[in-house]
Chain A
Amino acid sequence: MDALDLARWQFGITTVYHFLFVPLTIGLAFLVAGLQTAWVRTADERYLRLTKFYGELFLINFALGVVTGIVQEFQFGMNWSDYSRFVGDVFGPPLAIEGLLAFFLESTFLGLWIFGWDRLPRKLHLATIWIAATGTVLSAYFILAANAWMQNPVGYTLNSATHRAELTDFVAVLVNPLAVITFLHTIAAAFLTAGAFMAGVALWRLARHPDETADAFRAAARLGALTVLVAAVLVLLTGDQQAKVMTSVQPMKMAAAEALYQAEQPASFSVFTIGSLDGSRELFSVRIPDLLSFLATGTLDGRVLGINDLQATYQVQYGPGDYRPIIPVTYWTFRLMIGTGALAALAALWMLWALRRRSVRPSRWVVGTAVALPLLPLAANTLGWIFTEMGRQPWIVFGLMPTAAGVSPGTSSLEVLVTMVSFTLLYGGLAIVEVGLLARRIRAGLPEIEAPDAHGGADDAERPIAFAY
């Protein structure tokens, strides 16, 4: 493997890993804020205990999201310096603004939330988690606007003297139709992920530890499952819109998602296709008539361009070359994304039905659902990103810069290999630690709540702080 392949693998590994934590952070921040709001409103202690329980799981997850995010900020410069030179004028501002607007909010107000239980008035303390949650969403918007620009460059001009893309309309970058719809799709998926996590954990507690906290966990299980169902509908609607935007700005990606080789009108959706070895035509497939036309164009008989048509068009437009992504990757990641997401929604639906009864039977199905629920959306998120990034290939910026031209020219493949292996081993080790800590916390169950005046006798300065590392 040369430095280019290694740099691509490194970006893929570090980004996919980072994004395991991000959606859970975004969604869970809001769900925990909701639980705390319920406690402040009703003074029902169950909600406080749930807030602290899920709050701690949230923080264990958040820690890894933060530290892996640091790598994201710098690896464009490290491994993709020519890309950075080419796009910095356009791509840099959303990144910088993300830091200034979002990261400061998240980190500062989470610090206040974690350590501020006894230092801040109750409502102000509640506000800190809502502000931190807002920070996570802002962060998502700016980074997705940056990514959407790589998929669908807008608001720029090419400077022929410097060979750089230069920003001409920042608002256009921010309201890039692909950015808007990708943001909505991603946030909906984040809620699906967090809802599934909350529901899965609660179901596991109900099945395995039906103790006096079952009441609280039943509420959490319902909240989580309902979140999944509502989010699933939104994921579906936004995904449908995203497919239409994608068809108009990146038709090759849509064709590759479908392994559609020749233009079709109307086009059918393939549930399963086996293609020839060179990837140029299909041998066998199972199809739903007209569905692809509807997904891509909004009408049942819309014309959808095929890979071979687009390849011919691009050769005229951009010169000789292979403009096709790796079709089996795009085809299967697209399908499996939809499949795993749908399965999570079905599991949540089944769970709501099972929760009608007073006690949850610890059958293999129930425990299996509890474990599978949080994992399915994680798989769907990952597959979605692999699809969207692999589907952009061979471009790093669609139509403007091939991926091979973006890699750092001065960085040796040995350097990239060493850092890639190190990051992978470090990330793997941290994943084991994280899962271990999550499991330990979940087994420990809801924390006991101390009465606020437990140390009423002590002098204020001597009183133990409410939370300490």
Chain B
Amino acid sequence: MELTTIWFALIAILWIGYLVLEGFDFGVGILLPVLGRTERERRVVINTIGPVWDGNEVWLLVAGGATFAAFPEWYATLFSGFYLPLFLILVALIVRGVAFEFRGKRPEPSWRARWDAAIFVGSLVPAILWGTALANIVGGTPIDANREFTGNLFTLLNPYGLLGGLTTLALFVTHGATFLALKTTGDVRVRANRIAGRAGLVAAVLAIVFLAWTLQTRGDLPSALLSGAAALALVGALVANRLGREGWAFTGSAVTIGLAVAALFVALFPDVMPSTIDPAYSLTTTNAASTPYTLSIMTVVAVIFTPLVLLYQGWTYWVFRRRIGVHQIPPDEAGAGY
């Protein structure tokens, strides 16, 4: 296989990793006001992702850095072109990240309510915009002969892009709910289970329409098979959720997101940013790539360190595998000052 293809696959894997992992903690953030009816319950909800959300977010930084290194033209066109959506995502991630750390540092309800709102909005905005961005990458955007994006914010807010945004939103809410059902006890667990069922149905409808639309425009057999498998996984997740098999339900929602994103990347290949002006202007894995020398160095580094990262990140999930309930939330003073 060519190095450029390998790197296209690796970047797809980084995005899959990012969206599967941060997907559920976006979902948890969005569900915070719904599932956390008391202060203690809200703390239960937040603490399910407390030790892991930051590590999940690093997948995004590595995906961005790897795109810069392996496909500089893709990195340059994408982030200068999708300027305002990316800016909104960055602001959301800043506010959200700070909110997790700062929320518990003061006891006043108004202080905490403000950071709760920040967690909600900071999770909602990227959950929608990543889907919109991904849909527009795959669907194609106006890119001229100089590889510059010539549209604006509203070019991206087309029906297909918006449907992509709603699809990721519904999938992440479902994924967050199956995660919370798996990681909590008591009322929060019961409510999370109920919401996972409802959000999952909405997600199923949206995802099927969105993937069908994608296949109509850019599909091939492998991406169709992946889309079908994603739909099956979501059905499996819903069945498992109904049966109270929470581990399987969460696995199902994770696999759904992973396969759906994989389907998008397979449909995209070998382009990385198709142009709607002229297919000749499209950025591809070949014309956007770095040199073979750079790609081989990056390959060596990735082969050595990615398994290591997976190992210790997996270990973190093992260390914090226990469910959390309102009883385990320490009283405020101990919590805020350790």
Within 8 A of A (CB), among B27-81: 43, 46-47, 50-52, 54-55, 57-58, 60-62, 64-66, 68-73, 75-81
**Contact assessment for B105 and A96 in the assembled complex, using a CB-CB cutoff below 8 Å:** no
**Contact assessment for B320 and A104 in the assembled complex, using a CB-CB cutoff below 8 Å:** no
CB distance from B161 to the nearest CB of A (A): 19
CB distance from A443 to the nearest CB of B (A): 12
Does A467 sit within 8 A of B, measured CB to CB?
yes
**Contact assessment for B69 and A96 in the assembled complex, using a CB-CB cutoff below 8 Å:** yes
Which residues of chain B come closer than 8 Å to A433, judged between CB atoms?
Answer: 98, 102
Within 8 A of B (CB), among A399-443: 408-411, 415, 419, 422-423, 426, 430, 433, 437, 440-441
CB distance from A47 to the nearest CB of B (A): 15
Known A-B contacts A85-B72, A410-B150, A440-B106; A66 and B54 likewise in contact (beta carbons under 8 Å): yes
Closest to A49 in B: B338
**Contact assessment for B62 and A100 in the assembled complex, using a CB-CB cutoff below 8 Å:** yes
**Contact assessment for A464 and B330 in the assembled complex, using a CB-CB cutoff below 8 Å:** yes
Does A168 sit within 8 A of B, measured CB to CB?
yes
**Contact assessment for A70 and B90 in the assembled complex, using a CB-CB cutoff below 8 Å:** yes
Tell me the complex Cα distance, A101–B51, Å.
19
Does B305 sit within 8 A of A, measured CB to CB?
yes
**Binary interface encoding of chain B residues 318-335 relative to chain A, with 1 for a CB under 8 A from any of its CBs, else 0:** 011010100111110011
Does A98 sit within 8 A of B, measured CB to CB?
yes
Complex A-B: 28 CB contacts under 8 Å: A73-B64, A76-B68, A76-B79, A77-B68, A78-B79, A78-B87, A84-B72, A88-B71, A92-B294, A93-B297, A99-B58, A99-B61, A99-B64, A99-B65, A101-B301, A111-B52, A111-B55, A166-B294, A167-B291, A170-B293, A409-B148, A410-B149, A422-B91, A426-B95, A447-B338, A461-B322, A462-B327, A464-B330
Known A-B contacts A95-B65, A107-B58; A410 and B105 likewise in contact (beta carbons under 8 Å): no
**Contact assessment for A93 and B80 in the assembled complex, using a CB-CB cutoff below 8 Å:** no
Tell me the complex Cα distance, A113–B26, Å.
23
**Contact assessment for B66 and A96 in the assembled complex, using a CB-CB cutoff below 8 Å:** yes
**Contact assessment for A465 and B55 in the assembled complex, using a CB-CB cutoff below 8 Å:** no
Known A-B contacts A68-B94, A112-B316, A433-B102; A101 and B338 likewise in contact (beta carbons under 8 Å): no
Does B190 sit within 8 A of A, measured CB to CB?
no
CB distance from A83 to the nearest CB of B (A): 8
Tell me the complex Cα distance, A108–B334, Å.
23
Does A25 sit within 8 A of B, measured CB to CB?
no
Which residues of chain B come closer than 8 Å to A293, judged between CB atoms?
Answer: none
**Binary interface encoding of chain A residues 52-68 relative to chain B, with 1 for a CB under 8 A from any of its CBs, else 0:** 10011001101110111
CB distance from B207 to the nearest CB of A (A): 27
Q: Which of B127-135, B212-220, B306-314 forms part of the interface with chain A?
A: B306-314
3 nearest A-B residue pairs (beta carbon): A88-B72, A77-B79, A92-B69
Known A-B contacts A99-B61, A422-B91, A469-B104; A64 and B98 likewise in contact (beta carbons under 8 Å): yes
Tell me the complex Cα distance, A444–B337, Å.
9
Which residues of chain B come closer than 8 Å to A56, judged between CB atoms?
Answer: 337-338
Does A82 sit within 8 A of B, measured CB to CB?
yes
**Binary interface encoding of chain B residues 228-272 relative to chain A, with 1 for a CB under 8 A from any of its CBs, else 0:** 000000000000000000000000000000000000000000000
Does B172 sit within 8 A of A, measured CB to CB?
no
Tell me the complex Cα distance, A408–B84, Å.
14
Known A-B contacts A77-B75, A92-B70, A444-B337; A107 and B54 likewise in contact (beta carbons under 8 Å): yes
Within 8 Å by CB of B72, from A74, A89, A115, lies: A89
Within 8 Å by CB of B62, from A62, A96, A117, A408, lies: A96
Within 8 A of A (CB), among B287-301: 290-291, 293-294, 297-298, 301
Does A349 sit within 8 A of B, measured CB to CB?
no
Closest to B49 in A: A469
Please count how many residues in chain A sit with their CB below 8 Å of the partner chain's CB atoms: 83
Does B302 sit within 8 A of A, measured CB to CB?
yes
Which residues of chain A come closer than 8 Å to B103, judged between CB atoms?
Answer: 469
Which residues of chain B come closer than 8 Å to A441, judged between CB atoms?
Answer: 105, 337
**Contact assessment for A167 and B54 in the assembled complex, using a CB-CB cutoff below 8 Å:** no
Closest to B68 in A: A92
Tell me the complex Cα distance, A423–B87, Å.
9
Please count how many residues in chain B sit with their CB below 8 Å of the partner chain's CB atoms: 79
Which residues of chain B come closer than 8 Å to A76, judged between CB atoms?
Answer: 68, 75, 79
Tell me the complex Cα distance, A137–B100, Å.
25
Tell me the complex Cα distance, A466–B52, Å.
16
Does A287 sit within 8 A of B, measured CB to CB?
no
Which residues of chain B come closer than 8 Å to A92, judged between CB atoms?
Answer: 65, 68-70, 72, 75, 290, 294
Within 8 Å by CB of B101, from A60, A98, A117, lies: A60
**Contact assessment for B102 and A60 in the assembled complex, using a CB-CB cutoff below 8 Å:** yes
Within 8 Å by CB of B104, from A74, A422, A468, lies: A468
CB distance from A175 to the nearest CB of B (A): 14
Which residues of chain A come closer than 8 Å to B64, judged between CB atoms?
Answer: 73-74, 77, 99
Which residues of chain B come closer than 8 Å to A437, judged between CB atoms?
Answer: 102, 105-106
Closest to B46 in A: A469
**Contact assessment for B98 and A63 in the assembled complex, using a CB-CB cutoff below 8 Å:** yes
**Contact assessment for A88 and B290 in the assembled complex, using a CB-CB cutoff below 8 Å:** yes
Does A110 sit within 8 A of B, measured CB to CB?
yes
Does A81 sit within 8 A of B, measured CB to CB?
yes
Tell me the complex Cα distance, A160–B87, Å.
34
Closest to A72 in B: B61
**Contact assessment for B98 and A430 in the assembled complex, using a CB-CB cutoff below 8 Å:** yes
Tell me the complex Cα distance, A397–B293, Å.
21
Does A97 sit within 8 A of B, measured CB to CB?
yes
Within 8 Å by CB of A464, from B72, B76, B329, lies: B329
CB distance from B304 to the nearest CB of A (A): 9
Tell me the complex Cα distance, A433–B54, Å.
20
Which residues of chain A come closer than 8 Å to B100, judged between CB atoms?
Answer: 63, 469
Within 8 Å by CB of B65, from A55, A85, A96, lies: A96
**Contact assessment for A85 and B76 in the assembled complex, using a CB-CB cutoff below 8 Å:** yes
**Contact assessment for A74 and B86 in the assembled complex, using a CB-CB cutoff below 8 Å:** yes
Does B146 sit within 8 A of A, measured CB to CB?
yes
CB distance from A248 to the nearest CB of B (A): 27
**Contact assessment for B105 and A440 in the assembled complex, using a CB-CB cutoff below 8 Å:** yes
**Contact assessment for B75 and A63 in the assembled complex, using a CB-CB cutoff below 8 Å:** no
Does A176 sit within 8 A of B, measured CB to CB?
no
Known A-B contacts A95-B65, A410-B149, A464-B329; A166 and B291 likewise in contact (beta carbons under 8 Å): yes
Which residues of chain A come closer than 8 Å to B69, judged between CB atoms?
Answer: 88-89, 92-93, 95-96
Which residues of chain B come closer than 8 Å to A112, judged between CB atoms?
Answer: 51, 316, 319
**Contact assessment for B291 and A70 in the assembled complex, using a CB-CB cutoff below 8 Å:** no
Tell me the complex Cα distance, A170–B322, Å.
44
CB distance from B48 to the nearest CB of A (A): 10
Tell me the complex Cα distance, A168–B291, Å.
9
